[in-house]
Structure 1
């Protein structure tokens, strides 16, 4: 946790000028608790180090530190419990199902796994555009904005609509999503980099590489048409301002991803793409006892 915190703190301190304390805005529109568990220690630590942190999320802190302000999204959408309805997948694995016969059951199951995220993201966005507390937070000035990069770009559109010009840092609680790498200018190589939803490693057969590429390209199109375009329409209709979510997504200054190459494998990277695997882990409260010689 120390290295990414030092990096981000140095960045926001430089942006803040001689005072040293930055005004940080965190935007986390996903309702899954497991995601916020990754980001929460970073946000708390920034506030404890003197930065003024405003966090928009479904999970306000019970005992926030000084300089930490919560803008709660509780009530606008059910909290995600990270469960999957197995019945949706049963037909794919029936011995008589045509997808299994044709060998595409694995591909379809990945799209089915992603599909509920689209409805969830658009529904939450429809509430965000009308939320007074969020509107009030976005009308203030900030030195840096932290935005979760997962299944929604609604917050990016709202930042533009309200004229927030601060640099944007994308945070991921998982490996890169299919639509993440291009935002920071990183190379996309499905020939040996498995898509986050697949079961492949970096050693794939030719057919597996084809499947991996198809899934990656397909999910990028799925995200654009079922999420980005619908969120863009909601924002433009509600606020009366034109936004381009695809263009805004590529205006990312830094991307922090919850991976570590020793576990997740080697990936092509750029200076703006930083691995912060284990950022949420706390330091051991007690030192590990030494092993005594036999």
Structure 2
């Protein structure tokens, strides 16, 4: 008996020893002032601190309450927080405006961060960091800082990979089956959608390379000397933590240093405010929740589209909770609860919420999947088109395009997702999403610690370094096609030459006979 207890004690001590994590000095750089983006990353950063790591965070969103092991370097007030800035409109012109907005704000935010004295003290005092965690979005400025600090990088996204991230990580982008973040094709695009994705991909990569990465490197040079091209620093990122999951987004051809960790921001639901709780719980037929996120304004809907939505909702028995920025809706419908801010995760967790009418931002989409709420997906821009395609392909909901929005189309779509069998299927998909060996948060923390522990490992795939002509097999194609063509050409020339000689010989013989 004593022997068994002794062995058990030894096992417990060994288990404790191997699970003990040496505290890391972690630097988080999040210089993009997007509230919805940082809302994803904040729980991850706080969890790093809760697990004993020393976390220093550069961001526009300092903690409201102090947290042990967590230090803010606040950029708050330097620029306006990005929220409620885009109208509900969809066109190629909007896409071009977004590309301009991305590179301009990325450059501005980089410059403001590099000018901050607290940020400069990080490298002027030779502060040692074991790992830098940063958002992969519209600026590679943090990669230059990490290079100056000689620290490995873990990149995080709050959505799918952007066009310039594919080459960075060596991820295959084939528009015939790879969903493109900015267009509607999903994994089964039409010919037009494949052409569209190819052109938009080339455009965004060009804009980013010459109007973001080049100016950003120029900003970094005075602080760090000879900084390598940012494309090369991007290839040295140890781990990319992308915010999606194959259950919703489908199976992708990711290299080993891309990890899917979608869902770590979803918190345990809190009690709803009394008025909202009463409105939901007193609904006899359940509730439909409507939100178009923090960057789109419902009140900017055209009168035609607003009337279509209200008309469809008026024919359904369900009550509606709507994130709406205006003070009133036309007609002041009694079955609709409106507010310019709503606790979305807590609402979606309520069992009486039967459907989610959404713009398909990744946060809301993930929360809808987490809680098993069927979705009506109406994408506008950014990652929303690809998210909407994934929602429909996975069976989580149905798509409706803004240009197709009428009372009839919305009413028919809502009625389909409100069917009990549709909801049951969504619940089963949600259960599959939850069935993971590690929670998304545990996975994100593990790979961050792994990157800090094993800095000398080669993480990137060779595909990130292969020249484009080799990656596309153009050299092989030129040999397999070119050599036969040369042989055929030579044979044709010989045949033609022989035919001409034979023809001239016959003519000469005829002339002699005459």
TM range (shorter): 0.7 to 0.9
SS in 1 for 2:133: strand
Structure 1 unmatched ranges of 5 or more: 1-13, 94-105, 290-294
Counterpart-to-counterpart distance in 2, 1:179 and 1:143: 26
Q: Say whether residues 1:251 and 2:253 are aligned partners.
A: no
Show CA shifts across 1:109-144 (max 9, x none): 322222211111111122222211001134310111
8 Å Cα contact 1:191/1:213 also seen in 2: no
Aligned to 1:280: 265
Counterpart-to-counterpart distance in 1, 2:60 and 2:249: 29
TM-score normalised by length of structure 1: 0.80
TM-fit CA distance, 1:213: 1.4
Aligned to 2:132: 145
Show CA shifts across 1:159-181 (max 9, x none): 32xx3122110000011111112
* Aligned-residue CA RMSD (Å): 2.4
Counterpart-to-counterpart distance in 2, 1:207 and 1:288: 41
Counterpart-to-counterpart distance in 1, 2:170 and 2:67: 36
Aligned to 2:296: none
Determine which of 74, 77, 88 is the counterpart of 2:76: 74
Show CA shifts across 1:245-266 (max 9, x none): 1111111100001111222222
Determine which of 49, 53, 56 is the counterpart of 1:54: 56
Determine which of 37, 43, 57 is the counterpart of 1:35: 37
For residues 235 and 82 of structure 1, do their structure 2 counterparts lie closer, same or farther at Cα, with a shift above 3 Å needed? farther
Counterpart-to-counterpart distance in 1, 2:224 and 2:64: 36
Aligned to 1:135: 120
8 Å Cα contact 2:143/2:153 also seen in 1: no
Number of equivalent positions: 254
Q: Say whether residues 1:241 and 2:222 are aligned partners.
A: no
Counterpart-to-counterpart distance in 1, 2:191 and 2:21: 56
Show CA shifts across 1:71-127 (max 9, x none): 0111221111152156xx6xxx8xxxxxxxxxxxx5443222222111111111222
Aligned to 1:188: 173
For residues 134 and 217 of structure 1, do their structure 2 counterparts lie closer, same or farther at Cα, with a shift above 3 Å needed? same
The structure with the larger Rg is 2
Aligned to 1:45: 47
SS in 1 for 2:132: strand
Aligned to 1:10: none
8 Å Cα contact 1:258/1:277 also seen in 2: yes
SS in 1 for 2:155: strand
Counterpart-to-counterpart distance in 2, 1:225 and 1:57: 26
For residues 184 and 64 of structure 1, do their structure 2 counterparts lie closer, same or farther at Cα, with a shift above 3 Å needed? farther
8 Å Cα contact 2:180/2:186 also seen in 1: no
TM-score normalised by length of structure 2: 0.47
Counterpart-to-counterpart distance in 2, 1:269 and 1:213: 20
Determine which of 7, 23, 26 is the counterpart of 1:24: 26
SS in 1 for 2:149: coil
Structure 1 or 2: more helix by fraction: 2
Show CA shifts across 1:31-72 (max 9, x none): 000000100001001101101001110000011321100001
For residues 202 and 240 of structure 1, do their structure 2 counterparts lie closer, same or farther at Cα, with a shift above 3 Å needed? closer
Show CA shifts across 1:212-239 (max 9, x none): 1111121111111111111112222x33
For residues 152 and 195 of structure 1, do their structure 2 counterparts lie closer, same or farther at Cα, with a shift above 3 Å needed? same
Counterpart-to-counterpart distance in 1, 2:245 and 2:224: 42
8 Å Cα contact 2:185/2:194 also seen in 1: no
Counterpart-to-counterpart distance in 2, 1:253 and 1:185: 13
For residues 177 and 82 of structure 1, do their structure 2 counterparts lie closer, same or farther at Cα, with a shift above 3 Å needed? farther
8 Å Cα contact 1:184/1:253 also seen in 2: no
8 Å Cα contact 2:30/2:59 also seen in 1: yes
8 Å Cα contact 1:54/1:71 also seen in 2: yes
Counterpart-to-counterpart distance in 1, 2:21 and 2:94: 52
1:143-182 correspondence runs (5 A): 143-160=130-147, 163-182=148-167
8 Å Cα contact 1:198/1:212 also seen in 2: yes
SS in 1 for 2:23: coil
SS in 2 for 1:274: strand
SS in 1 for 2:57: strand
SS in 2 for 1:25: strand
8 Å Cα contact 1:44/1:64 also seen in 2: no
Determine which of 171, 193, 201 is the counterpart of 1:216: 201
